[in-house]
Structure 1
Amino acid sequence: MKEIFTALITPFNQDQSIDYAGLYRIMDKLIEEGNKSFLLCGTTGETSTLKLDERRLLVENILEKYPQIRVIVGISSNSTSQVIRHINMYKDNPRIYAYLVIVPYYIKPSQSGIFKHFDLIASSTDKKIMIYNIPSRCGVAIDVSTVIRLANKHKNIIGMKQCGPLDEIHMLKDALPQFKVYIGDDHLLLEGLKQRADGIISVSSHLDYPLIEEICRNENIFDDRYLKLISEYVFIEPSPAPIKYILSQLGYIQNILRCPLTPIEEDSEVKLTPLIEKYKKMI
């Protein structure tokens, strides 16, 4: 079956500390539903607001509590030296499957600069590296040709999360059959699978992992209109505010984010009510 990673949220307490009890409630639910793979410290985890010690402890605590799971750890920095430093922070933890490294954001480097960024990172470690291509947030995309050059040079660059054009997936798979490409947009899962994606890194799976799994198992016959509807709700405002609100209403966590993210507006809460009521009946 295709691979499914949940891009895990980071719940917070009223004092802004990490709410581990809420986090474990969500993970227990997901693992019971069959979810065994997680992305920690990604965009959905509000990682840009987490201190380095918080990130390290979050990863260590989850791996200690759940020895059966596989994790990718997100590395969010646009500084090459800082990315290398952050990866080295986890160097003694062999249970981390890979590190998801974002294309440098805001500064808009050239393809030469992007190549050098990942070249230096991959050369600094024997750990597995995945590229995170999300031009809508970074302001720049990594070209398919750049990815191919990097993967051919570095065997530890094993895959990418693609939030760019879907037709690039089959181009990458043609050139690099063993290279893993994961969809990063829930509403495009089925289209991505038809382009030979290896799976998804999902936000909507917090709410309905069985639905994501069913699509991945039956991609040739499945109708994904309901997933597209859920995705529309989950991203009704900047993520992860909507999914945090939904999970708070279902009793898993408190509806708390770290600034500059804020809870969703009242009109969005009203729009989410039917969806929440449906899933309350399923708990």
Structure 2
Amino acid sequence: MKEIFTALITPFNQDQSIDYPGLFRLLDKLIHEGNKSFVLCGTTGETSTLKLEERRVLAERILDKYPHIRVIIGICSNCTAEVIRHIQMYKDNQAIYAFLVIVPYYIKPNQEGIYRHFDMIGASTDKKIMIYNIPSRCGVGITPSTVIRLATKHQNIIGMKQCGPLDDIKIIKKALPHFKVYLGDDHLLLEGLQYHIDGLISVTSHIDYPLIERIMQKRKQYDDAHLKILSQFLFKEPNPAPVKYILSEMGYIQNILRSPLTSITPQLQQELESLIENYQKK
């Protein structure tokens, strides 16, 4: 079966510290359901609000408690030197599978600038690097030709998370059959499988991992209407506010985010009532 990574939230306490008991309750649930692969410190994990020491300790505590899971660490800086420094911070942790490095946001470099960014990162470490392409957040995307150029030069640039055009996947996989391309849009899972993605980095799997797994296994016969509806609800307001609210109502975590994110509106809370009821009955 294709791989499913949950882009894990970071639960917080009232004092804004990381809520490790809540995090472990959630991980126990997901692992029990069959989920063995996770992205830590990604967008859904509110990584831009986490201090470097918090990120390092978070990874260590999770891997100490769950040594058999596969973990990718998100690296969200738009400064090349900072990305390299962040990766080096984890150099002694051999249990980390790879680092997911975002295309430089806000600065909006051209393709040569993006190439040099990842070229320097790839050359700085023997750790596995994955490219995170999400033009809607970054203001710029990486093109297939730049991806192919990088992966051809650096054996440790092994894959990417694609939240851009699906047609780019076809071009990349044709040129680089062994290069891992993970879809980052839950609602496009069935479409992505037709483009031969290697897996999904998912938010909806927090709520319904078995649904994602069934679609992966039975894609030719499966109707993905419920997945599309669930995904739509989870992204009606800024991620991860909706998924955190649902998980708090289900008793796994507290409904707390770090500024500038805020909890979902009363209107969305009302819209989610029947969905939450259905999952509480399972």
TM range, smaller chain: over 0.9
Q: Which residue of 2 aligns with 1:193?
A: 193
Residue matched to 1:18 = 18
Q: CA deviation digits over 1:39-88, x for unaligned, max 9?
A: 00000000000000000000000000001100000000000000000000
Displacement of 1:221 in angstroms is: 1.5
SS at match of 1:238: coil
* Displacement after TM superposition at 1:195 (Å): 0.5
Alignment of 1:215 onto 2:215: yes
Q: 1:92 and 1:253 mapped to 2: Cα distance? A: 30
Question: Secondary structure at 1:43's aligned position in 2?
Answer: coil
Equivalent in the alignment of 1:28:
28
| SS of corresponding position for 2:58 | helix
Show the counterpart of 2:63: 63
Equivalent residue, structure 2, for 1:120: 120
Give distance in 1, aligned partners of 2:236 and 2:28: 26
Whichever residue aligns with residue 173 of structure 1, its letter is: K
SS in 2 for 1:45: coil
Rounded to whole Å, the distance in 1 between the matches of 2:163 and 2:91 is 28
Which amino acid is 1:224 matched to? D
Q: Please give the secondary structure, in 2, of the residue aligned with 1:161.
A: strand
Any idea what the Cα deviations from partners look like across 1:173-222, whole Å, max 9, x if unmatched?
10000000000011011100111101100000000000001111111221
Quote the residue 1:100 is aligned against. Answer: 100
| Separation of aligned partners in 1, 2:171 and 2:199 | 16
Q: 1:145 maps to what in 2?
A: 145
Aligned mates of 2:244, 2:153 — CA distance in 1: 40
Q: Confirm whether residue 256 of structure 1 aligns to residue 259 of structure 2.
A: no
Letter in 2 for 1:23: L
DSSP-derived class of the 1:188 partner: helix
Runs of 4+ in structure 1 over 6 Å off: none
RMSD: 0.4
Distance apart, 1:112 and its partner CA: 0.3
How far apart in 2 are the matches of 1:177 and 1:148?
11
What is the CA-CA distance between 1:31 and the residue it aligns to? 0.1
Q: Report the AA paired with residue 226 of structure 1.
A: H
Residue type of the alignment partner of 1:232: Q
- What do residues 102-140 of structure 1 show as CA deviations (whole Å, max 9, x unaligned)? 000000001000000000000000000000000000000
Q: Please state if 1:273 is matched with 2:262.
A: no
TM-aligned CA deviation for residue 147 of structure 1? 0.2
Identity level (%):
71
Most deviating of 165-174 and 5-14: 165-174
Q: Which residue of 1 aligns with 2:237?
A: 237
Q: What's the CA shift for 1:277?
A: 0.4
Q: Give the TM-score, by structure 1 length.
A: 0.99
Distance (whole Å) between structure 2 residues aligned to residue 68 and residue 95 of structure 1: 9
The CA distance in 2 between the partners of 1:175 and 1:134, in whole Å, is 21
Corresponding residue for residue 178 of structure 1: 178
Q: How far does residue 264 in structure 1 lie from its aligned partner after superposition?
A: 0.2
Q: 1:151-166 residue pairs with structure 2 within 5 A?
A: 151-166=151-166
Q: How many Å separate the matches in 2 of 1:61 and 1:197?
A: 31
How many Å separate the matches in 1 of 2:164 and 2:243?
A: 22
In the aligned structure 2, how far is the partner of 1:223 from the partner of 1:171?
A: 27
Q: Unaligned stretches of 5+ in structure 2?
A: none
Cα distance in 2 for partners of 1:55, 1:229 equals: 32
TM-score of the superposed pair, with normalisation by structure 2: 1.00
Q: Distance in 2 between matches of 1:218 and 1:180?
A: 21
- Report the equivalent of 1:132: 132
SS in structure 2 at match of 1:136: helix
Deviation at 1:24, TM superposition (A): 0.3
1:46 aligns with 2:26: no
Q: Secondary structure at the match of 2:44?
A: helix
1:180 alignment partner AA: K
**d(CA) in 1 for partners of 2:132, 2:219:** 24
Mapped partners of 1:178, 1:104: distance in 2: 25
Deviations 1:135-161 (A, max 9, x none): 000000001000000000000000000
Code of the residue aligned with 2:99 in structure 1: it is Y
The answer on 1:8 being equivalent to 2:8 is yes
* Residue type of the alignment partner of 1:159: G
Q: How many residues align?
A: 282
